[in-house]
């Protein structure tokens, strides 16, 4: 199978030859096409944005010249902000939705959400008028449109997945309002929150339409939205359904209308939300830490949705031995997928952020090479009993080599 056929077979449980790979290198079966900040966006020029630097998702976007900030006078006049030196200092950044991010300076991580950018619901109309990105702006898509054309001309038949925005509707709303007020809004300001979510939904729908319009020729769309913490989702399944069915169902259905699958990156223990997401049309979910939701609690959904996953980044991938990382590839295949597909390997894209040892990064690919070919897996391995209880650190032995 070529890469496109392999990913499609895994998504639809139709017997891929190998476990598909979603990585940041040439071995990948998936070609991600990301959105960049608009070339027309230059924050810091109005009084209320003085002292705020642009948040273009990651420093590499600036360092590679993919986004060039036209600096306001207060930045031009400060010699320590010359060229891209401002990236070295602790600072507040603002993204295109007006959300504030805290950056410690001198590191390569994207930073963390900061203070609320819209503390009062009374400012909603003015806020959305000032801080709604234009999804029709071709400059957001142009670089990756060119990349996609080059890959196609070289004859690589990759599964093309277009990324929708920076982060998804729940995360964006939480940063606009501040995380704690956002949670309270579900009870105290439901109408206002639903109005904000509807506005955000329209943006993601328009992003889908414009990826299509600009001839990206996607096979799938990826949304990035964390919905839980270590022990459970941010809201009950009932609250989630009440507020987010119109959001996700609309986005997923729009993608399906164009013949594309939907993928969701999601951190947190969110197994209780999967029935709704599956019902609304989600085709695949990606976990950086699949053991957070837990193999036992995810078991009811195996075969109903595809799982992309990395060896647990909070434990095994960072602190395990290379042998444990290698074996974990099989345990993910067994506990998240079926012998007909449903699992894909997703190496954490920024291992330097979490200090993954080089030997463990290598071991993850070794595990894929050893176990990722479905024709080489002994049939009885798929029926070999799995533990009833899993912790986040222990990697069980592999099934025996003979029945």
Q: Return the structure tokens found at 315.
A: 């434990």
Closest by CA position to 13, among listed 259, 279, 339: 339
Decide if pLDDT at 105 tops 90.
no
- CATH, domain 3-37+133-383, list 3.20.20.210, 3.60.15.10, 3.40.50.300, 3.90.1520.10: 3.20.20.210
Closest CA to 278 of 302, 308, 309: 302
| pLDDT exceeds cutoff 80 at 59 | yes
pTM for the full model?
0.96
Q: How far apart are CA 337 and CA 303, in angstroms?
A: 7
Which is it for strands 91-94 and 100-103: parallel, antiparallel or unpaired?
Answer: antiparallel
In whole angstroms, give the CA distance from residue 363 to residue 358. Answer: 9
Mean pLDDT over 103-108 rounds to 80
Interval 58-73 mean pLDDT: 92
* Rg over CA atoms, the chain: 22
Average pLDDT of every residue of the chain: 95
Q: How far is the C-alpha of 304 from the C-alpha of 307, rounded, in Å?
A: 10
3-class secondary structure, 99: coil
Predicted confidence (pLDDT) per residue in 239-274, tens digit: 999 999 999 999 999 999 999 999 999 999 999 999
Please, are residues 281 and 252 in contact by the beta-carbon 8 Å criterion? yes
Q: Do the Cβ atoms of 238 and 179 come closer than 8 Å?
A: no
Positive or negative: CA dihedral 357, 360, 361, 362: positive
Q: For residues 98 and 75, what is the distance between their CA atoms, to the nearest angstrom?
A: 19
Spatial separation of the C-alpha atoms in residues 68 and 33, rounded to whole Å: 20
Q: Where are the domains of the chain?
A: 3-37+133-383, 47-113
Note the pLDDT of residue 71: 97
According to the model, what pLDDT value does residue 50 have?
96
* Residue (of 113, 110, 80, 77) closest to 97 by Cα position: 113
């Amino acid at each position: 199978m070529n890469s496109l056929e392999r990913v499609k077979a895994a998504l639809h449980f139709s017997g891929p030859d190998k476990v598909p790979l979603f990585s940041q290198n040439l071995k990948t079966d998936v070609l991600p096409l990301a959105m960049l900040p608009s070339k027309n966006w230059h924050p810091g020029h109005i009084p209320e944005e003085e002292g705020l630097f642009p948040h273009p998702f990651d420093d590499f976007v600036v360092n590679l010249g993919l986004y060039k900030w036209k600096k306001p006078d207060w930045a031009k006049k400060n010699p320590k902000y010359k060229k891209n030196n401002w990236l070295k200092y602790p600072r507040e950044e603002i993204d295109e939705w007006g959300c504030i991010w805290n950056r410690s300076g001198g590191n390569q991580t994207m930073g963390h959400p900061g203070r609320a950018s819209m503390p009062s619901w009374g400012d909603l109309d003015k806020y959305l008028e000032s801080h709604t990105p234009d999804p029709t702006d071709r400059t957001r898509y142009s670089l990756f449109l060119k990349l996609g054309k080059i890959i196609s001309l070289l004859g690589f038949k990759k599964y093309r997945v277009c990324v929708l925005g920076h982060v998804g509707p729940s995360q964006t709303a939480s940063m606009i309002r501040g995380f704690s007020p956002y949670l309270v809004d579900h009870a105290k300001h439901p109408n206002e929150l639903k109005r904000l979510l509807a506005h955000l939904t329209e943006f993601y729908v328009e992003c889908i339409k414009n990826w299509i319009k600009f001839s990206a020729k996607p096979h799938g769309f990826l949304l990035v939205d964390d919905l839980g913490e270590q022990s459970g989702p941010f809201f009950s399944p009932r609250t989630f359904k009440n507020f987010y069915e119109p959001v996700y169902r609309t986005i997923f259905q729009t993608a399906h209308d164009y013949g594309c699958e939907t993928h969701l990156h999601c951190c947190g223990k969110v197994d209780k939300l999967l029935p709704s997401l599956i019902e609304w049309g989600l085709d695949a979910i990606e976990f950086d830490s699949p053991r957070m939701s837990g193999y036992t609690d995810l078991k009811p959904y195996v075969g109903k949705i595809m799982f992309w996953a990395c060896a647990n980044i909070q434990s095994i991938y960072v602190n395990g031995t290379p042998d444990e990382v290698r074996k974990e590839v099989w345990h993910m295949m067994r506990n998240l997928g079926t012998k007909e597909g449903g699992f894909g390997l997703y190496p954490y894209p920024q291992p330097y952020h979490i200090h993954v040892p080089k030997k463990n990064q290598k071991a993850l690919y070794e595990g894929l090479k050893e176990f990722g070919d479905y024709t080489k897996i002994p049939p009885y391995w798929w029926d070999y009993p799995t533990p009833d209880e899993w912790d986040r650190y222990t990697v069980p032995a592999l099934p025996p080599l003979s029945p």
